[in-house]
Structure 1
Amino acid sequence: MEGTYRRLVQTRSGADIVVDGDVVHKLHRIGTNPRYLAQRLRIARESPALLSPLSVVPEAVGPRWRSSWPRVDTVAPDPEHAPWVEAGALLAALHTEPVTARAPGHGWPQRLRRTVERLRSERGPIHAAAVALPAVVWRTGTPGRPVTLVHGDWHLGQLGRRGPAAAWQLIDVDDVGVGDPAWDLARPAGFWAAGLIPDVDWQTFLEAYRARGPGLPPGDPWRVLEPFARAAVVHAAATGLAHGDTDDTQQALLDACERMR
């Protein structure tokens, strides 16, 4: 992380990221609630599992809000060496941290709603799969299930560390909050079901999570994960459609949506 440079990265979520030397400034998407963002920054400051921000006070930049972070290395796109064990253990650690009264609900259902709203004119398999999603995926929590801290947008790209010898931490707090921890397992579960994650990686991740994580009861995890996995596939497919993706991943997601019908 040596050297000073500056570059702009635009994300699919509507945020803009400016990397300035060893500092990362994130300009959050339009409509971000500054009170919730401040709560999430404080959670990250107090959580060992989350990367700590440089300040817990978001800055107003025109109509948007900005947070600042230390620059980290993210997971390299190498499926043969993906840190599934570390990822499962890290999520389990987050899910066992104390839940404070200041924590908002996590943002997964809201993000799903925003994505589905863009499907109004689409009448293909993604729209049909979205319409068929069960009621449980539109809530942050689930009756009878644990309530924990939840990252709210977890995938391998949300791991970062401050150097090759440092421990991985979770980055991107836009959707951090409380709710059903199964939401943090939704994307890997959905991608595994769509054939995009090999069985051995999925089982490695599950075993690492189950060693400490409270989100899955004994037995078949699919009894809990199935509706959330479906929601994650719909969200990913709809996002890909909005951005004009035509690669093998998008086709696998479309095929999975077709099977949901």
Structure 2
Amino acid sequence: MAEMPPATVEVDDAVVRLLVRDQRPDLADHPLARVANGWDNATFRLGDHLAVRLPRRAEAVPLMLHEQAYLPGIARRSPVLVPVPVHAGRPTPEFPWPWSIVQWVSGTAAADVGPANRGPAAEGLADFLLSLHLPAENGVPVNPVRGVPLTDRDAAVVERLRDRERYPQAAPLGALWAQARAAKAWAGPPTMLHGDLHPGNILLADDGSLAGIIDFGDVGAGDPAVDLAVAWLMFDAAARHRFIESFGPAVEGDTWLRARGWALVLATAMLSNSDDNPRMFAVGGFGIRQVLEDGRQ
């Protein structure tokens, strides 16, 4: 059974209250409640308008620093809300790493909404990505497993597809993967990337439109196709068509082929590593079905 990585440091409400009281005493009387425990970060809601994010493991510490560095600029361009840091927390004897207080972004995670009801977000999500995918400034990090050439991810995908019990349609998936690897490589400048854009990190309003984007720990620079993979992770065929059409000539065909390849990278990662996380397992399964359906068409 493949599970999400264990926490190196597990924090509870008492530790978070102590951090807030010591570094932001003006916020110490706000109600606090844990709302998420992800692969990399624990998140606590702080009052009505803020959240506290803390790394769970050492590998996530650079990601926290990247959020603090790049989210303010992303927020200035974004047409929807993102969790802008309002306080960069310092390590203490109670908690050894940097942490953040960020703006709370309200909405329902698309992962908790049926795929048929996600369609109204298609155009808004395209607008967000058009605002994000600008040439990255010098110094923006390249994540070694996101936004890189698809050939760099070949060994991982091939290894996952050997699990025929988990991937009974490994043969057609392998053919689609080969097609994606053969697409023309990204030749433009590295663009800013979200890096982990899937239905768990996309928030919807009550009418299904896009309300916000969260979890920028994998923000970095590279091939924008990794973010465009959300077309298969998020949408059914009809909404995916509207999402793709919203980009017009800004995204050409080879980039969409690589994007479908990235959808396969990300969906297999979720299916192969989320036996203890039914929500992400379901996102991965949906993505695999959409990639296969798209390939048949």
Distance between the aligned counterparts of 1:89 and 1:174, measured in 2? 21
Aligned with 1:7 (options 26, 33, 49): 33
| 237-246 vs 180-189, greater mean Cα deviation | 237-246
Aligned equivalents of 1:36 and 1:221: distance in 2? 26
Matched, 1:104 2:141: yes
In the other structure, the counterpart of 1:66 is 99
Q: Distance in 1 between matches of 2:122 and 2:269?
A: 22
| Number of the residue aligned with 2:58 | 31
Q: Contact 2:231 / 2:240 at 8 angstroms: preserved in 1?
A: yes
Aligned counterparts of 1:225 and 1:19: Cα–Cα separation in 2: 33
Q: CA deviation at 1:222?
A: 4.2
2:92 equivalent to 1:92: no
CA distance in 1, matches of 2:119, 2:211: 14
User: Higher mean Cα deviation, 52-61 or 70-79?
Assistant: 52-61
Q: Given that residues 50 and 103 in structure 2 are in contact (C-alpha distance below 8 angstroms), is that contact kept between their aligned partners in structure 1?
A: yes
Shift of 1:249: 5.9
Deviation for aligned residue 1:25: 0.4
Is residue 53 from structure 1 mapped to residue 91 from structure 2 by the alignment?
no
Change (3 A) 1:247 1:211: closer
For structure 1, which runs of at least 5 residues remain unmatched after alignment? none
Percent of matched pairs sharing the same residue: 18
Query: Which residue of 29, 33, 41 maps to 2:68?
Result: 41
CA RMSD across the alignment: 4.5
Query: Which structure has greater helix proportion?
Result: 2
- Measured against aligned partners, the alpha-carbon deviations of 1:51-100 in whole angstroms (never above 9, x if no partner) come to 4211345545534442111112124636166422111110111002x522
SS in 2 for 1:200: helix
Per-residue deviation, 1:181: 0.4
CA gap of 1:44–1:162, structure 2 versus 1, over 3 A, is farther
- Mapping of residues 133-148 of structure 1, within 5 Å: 142=185, 144-148=187-191
Q: 2:208 matched to 1:170?
A: no
- C-alpha distance 199-12 of structure 1, shift in aligned 2 (>3 A): same
The TM-score with structure 1 as length reference comes to: 0.69
- Supply the AA of the counterpart residue of 1:54: V
| Contact in 2 for aligned 1:75/1:82 (Cα 8 Å) | no
SS of equivalent residue, structure 1 residue 73: coil
Runs (5+) with no aligned partner, structure 2 = 1-28, 148-152
Q: Highest Rg: 1 or 2?
A: 2
Q: Note the C-alpha offset of 1:104.
A: 0.9
> In the alignment, is residue 233 of structure 1 matched against residue 274 of structure 2?
no
Q: What SS is found at the alignment partner of 2:87?
A: coil
Shift, 1:243, TM fit:
3.0
Which residue of 2 is the match for residue 124 of structure 1?
Answer: 165
Q: Counterpart of 1:150 in structure 2: which amino acid?
A: L
What is the DSSP-based 3-state SS (H/G/I as helix, E as strand, rest coil) of the residue aligned with 2:43?
A: strand
- AA aligned to 1:226 is R
CA contact (8 A) 1:54 1:68 kept: yes
1:16 aligned onto 2:42: yes
Amino acid at match of 2:275: L
Q: Retained in 1: the 8 A contact 2:86–2:103?
A: yes
- CA distance in structure 2 between the aligned counterparts of 1:85 and 1:6, rounded to whole angstroms: 34
* Distance (Å, rounded) in 1 between the aligned partners of 2:231 and 2:291: 16
1:258 deviates by 9.5
Distance 2:96 2:189 in 1: 36
SS of residue in 2 equivalent to 1:26? strand
How many correspondences in the alignment? 238
Distance 1:4 1:56, change over 3 A: closer
1:155 paired to 2:198: yes
1:181 and 2:224 equivalent?
yes
If the length of structure 2 is used for normalisation, what is the TM-score?
0.61
